[in-house]
Structure 1
Amino acid sequence: MFHGRAAADHFPTPGRGPQPGSPASCQGRHRESCRFEWSVGDGGDPAELVSAFLSRNGLPVRDIGRTATQIHPTGAETPCGAALYVSASAGSVMVGGPVGAPSPVPGIPDVVAVVHVHIEPTESSPSVMGACAIDPGDSAGSASGARPDGWRLGHWRDSWTPGEHAAAVSAVRAAIERGDVYQVNVVGHASAPYTGDPGPALDRLTTLPGARYGGVLRGDGWAVATASPETLVEVRGGRIITRPIKGTRPATDAGRRELLASAKERAEHVMIVDLERNDLARLGAGPVRVDELFAVRRWCGLWQAESVVSAPIERPVGLAELLRALCPGGSVTGAPKHAALREIAALEPVGRGVSMGALGWVGTDHVDLGLSIRTAAVDGERVHLWAGGGITIDSDPWDEVAEAAAKAAPLRAALAGPGG
């Protein structure tokens, strides 16, 4: 039997591992200054609330196309940036969509922003909260110390059977035939009990090949680790950029040829590229262009097709506006987005939790948020992960079941560790 100990006994220290999406030059130099947390049910507009928090603490989120020049709060240290996490449910709230089934990790908030300042490499002082401008009602949390207990991962338990997953794919195809949607992303969840310190296992996950946003975000009794290769949104050099990924095959020569030749995969991919073009156009930026279409890139043992869509920033654009336009990500919802969200809420028996949201970095001169695919969460007792894929009229239900398993396999292996 596997029984999780109290989180305070075994959670890793806050300083271990990089912050997802943070600049490489800053890694190892961060000290948490303060944090914001919001959960579905708290009320208010999470996009505006988190933007207001970051603005009060010295980040230029009211105009993300410019470098920070404003005066920082009295007594505050100049921030390096902030880690930002937005769950799929929070993203749906931002656009007025349904939130779906409850999260299997209810202890993890739906929006977290952690402001960081720099420390010198020789410093080892703990986080301090006094330099942060926090409104009454804002909360702050931090993980507690770790101890070197042995790591053991129990048996995975899936939230639906392969047959139930295949039936959900068939239900989406039926919705497409009715004309309700064009494409829907269907996601499954699995969890496993553990004992020991999850820190090294989470660190292994973040270093999987192709992890553009590899890193760990921690809170009070929980942690989120990502090996995501996908850019939800990047703002840099006067442009807004998104890099949707759709289309998967084994990372073999034959798999690459098959992916490039697949009319089904290309049609699915182009549909999401068009959705992302529309999302960027809603921001009222300059002309939207597709810089790269259906480029094949590798993540672990898989080939995946990625495109690059961008637009110039020709007027002030705030972070709240950006989040409402891009969240939840088109490649993990479907088209049209609102109709796809309704199908997802009706079909998926377990909430998406930390997956299929946004996780990355808000800096003083850029924003870089990854889509939280290939992502795991840990609470005081279990490890959780999610995997799925986009469904079109040409999708084969059992092929989709196999694709989701192929995406989850490297995560399970990394979490289990050598000999696991």
Structure 2
Amino acid sequence: MLHAGAVVDHCPLPPMGRPPGAPVGCHARHHALSAFRWHRGDPGDPAELVAGFLADNGLPVRNLGRTGDKYQTIGAGEICGASLYVSADAGAVMAGGVIGSRSPVPCIPDVYAVVYRHARDVTPSGDMSGQPWTPVPAGPAPDRPASWSLGPWRESWTRAGHSRAVEQVREAIGRGDVYQVNIVGHASAAYTGDPGPALRRVAGLAGARYGGVLTGDGWAIATASPETLIEVRDGRVVTRPIKGTRPATAAGRRELLGSAKERAEHVMIVDLERNDLARLPGTGPVRVEELFAVREWSGLWQAESVVTADLDPDVGLAELLRAVCPGGSVTGAPKLAALDRIAALEPVGRGVSMGGLGWIGHDHLDLGLTIRTVAVDGSRAHVWAGGGITIDSVAVAEVEEAAAKTGPVRAALRGR
């Protein structure tokens, strides 16, 4: 069934790697069966439309609280699950907030879902077509350079511009408009050749809980995200907000644990996430099972908490997306007021970053937050990074933190 506002394709697109969040048992067996697309400005409620598409393909997204741990072996030709991607813009629409600047990668939909079946015949590489795939425009094979080359980065704002944005947020906090705002910068670089190996290096970065690559028509997204936006298993909903970053050294760990500013920023977002889960009908009580635990991601210490609740059996995917998108750790508090500030300050759209990307199976849902994420179109690679600003933020430190977060991703793209 085709839903209003949706474009559904039957698309035998081969993956460039394991889809983010996909079960290990499905690795190298995914064959794309059909896809859903929704772009900013399209009609209809994107949360309801994508839920309808997935439900029509046999996935239990209408009653997520009833999906238990009932894993069964999926045979060849059967639907094993779906990749789901939701952009920051789509999340703002779902939340009823202001949408920011347009994405620098407009060819990538704002909501994209791909239903996979298990392939009967799999090549050793896991590519169902038997041919390498690259998001370079179609043309004669000799015109497509094979070797990967990445040009210089073009930043969306200068260090001075980033610092001014930090100060503007601090002024808004001083006026009482907001308590915290996460601001994000963007950079892009021209490339030639096949981006596949570079994207797989990004997906393989240490600490990438959601490492993987999602491909579409002329584009690809690679993520090394360590952060859970939302997970549902056995009638339980979980989010794992990350706030607070330092170099992964003994001194960096002591500094992160001892920082009153980082802890206050973190606790504020934990409270926001608790509120998001509490908005789900019939769900609760909401519990903080772990607070400010320090974990490592690719040379950085980061502080993570675990927030959980018992999910009402009849809560569906659309309600879940409206409650948690866009993620609190990449917006701020209050969320809608923070979205206003973000739209006013960020010169380039967040695109694929600061959204959600992961897997929906027959027995669980698991979406990561698209931080530490790269997008490529037919000519450029795109990265984003930022951080949460509070009244105690120091502009130069916030600029350095954003650079530290994007550093491993940029290095992986260049092959270092």
* TM surpasses 0.5: yes
Partner residue in 2 for 1:326: 324
Partner residue in 1 for 2:14: 14
SS at match of 2:64: coil
Query: Match for 1:365 among 363, 366, 370?
Result: 363
* Amino acid in the other structure paired with 2:216: G
Query: Match for 1:281 among 268, 278, 283?
Result: 278
Partner residue in 2 for 1:136: none
Alpha-carbon distance in structure 2 between the residues aligned to 1:50 and 1:275: 25
Could you tell me whether the CA contact under 8 Å between 2:235 and 2:313 is conserved in 1? no
Partner residue in 2 for 1:103: 103
Superposed, 1:265-276 pairs within 5 Å as: 265-276=262-273
Unaligned 5+ segments in structure 1 are 1-12, 69-75, 128-140
Alpha-carbon distance in structure 1 between the residues aligned to 2:182 and 2:321: 20
Q: Deviations over 1:297-320 (max 9, x none)?
A: 000010000000000123311000
- 1:113 and 2:110 aligned: no
1:122 Cα offset (Å): 4.2
Partner residue in 2 for 1:304: 302
Partner residue in 1 for 2:181: 184
Superposed, 1:216-231 pairs within 5 Å as: 216-231=213-228
1:95 Cα offset (Å): 1.2
- 1:244 and 2:241 aligned: yes
SS at match of 2:65: coil
Alpha-carbon distance in structure 1 between the residues aligned to 2:28 and 2:263: 41
Could you tell me whether the CA contact under 8 Å between 1:142 and 1:220 is conserved in 2? no
Superposed, 1:157-176 pairs within 5 Å as: 157-176=154-173
Partner residue in 2 for 1:137: none
- 1:384 and 2:382 aligned: yes
SS at match of 1:249: strand
Could you tell me whether the CA contact under 8 Å between 1:28 and 1:121 is conserved in 2? no
Partner residue in 1 for 2:88: 88
Partner residue in 1 for 2:209: 212
Superposed, 1:395-406 pairs within 5 Å as: 395-406=393-404
1:144 Cα offset (Å): 7.3
Could you tell me whether the CA contact under 8 Å between 2:286 and 2:309 is conserved in 1? yes
Partner residue in 2 for 1:131: none
* Amino acid in the other structure paired with 2:106: P
| RMSD over aligned Cα atoms | 2.0
Superposed, 1:348-359 pairs within 5 Å as: 348-359=346-357
Alpha-carbon distance in structure 2 between the residues aligned to 1:109 and 1:60: 23
- 1:62 and 2:59 aligned: no
Could you tell me whether the CA contact under 8 Å between 1:231 and 1:369 is conserved in 2? yes
SS at match of 1:361: strand
Partner residue in 2 for 1:39: 39
What TM-score do you get using the length of structure 1 for normalisation? Answer: 0.89
1:238 Cα offset (Å): 1.5
* Amino acid in the other structure paired with 1:310: T
1:279 Cα offset (Å): 0.3
* Amino acid in the other structure paired with 1:346: A
SS at match of 2:185: strand
How much identity, in percent, do the aligned residues show?
70
Q: Deviations over 1:90-119 (max 9, x none)?
A: 000011111110111111110000000112
* Amino acid in the other structure paired with 2:328: G
Superposed, 1:330-341 pairs within 5 Å as: 330-341=328-339
Could you tell me whether the CA contact under 8 Å between 1:58 and 1:78 is conserved in 2? no
1:78 Cα offset (Å): 3.5
* Amino acid in the other structure paired with 1:80: C
Unaligned 5+ segments in structure 2 are 1-12, 69-75
Alpha-carbon distance in structure 2 between the residues aligned to 1:174 and 1:14: 49
* Amino acid in the other structure paired with 1:214: G
Q: Deviations over 1:33-90 (max 9, x none)?
A: 100000011111000000000000110100112349xxxxxxx954111000000000
Q: How many residues of Structure 1 are paired with residues of Structure 2 in the alignment?
A: 386
SS at match of 2:255: helix
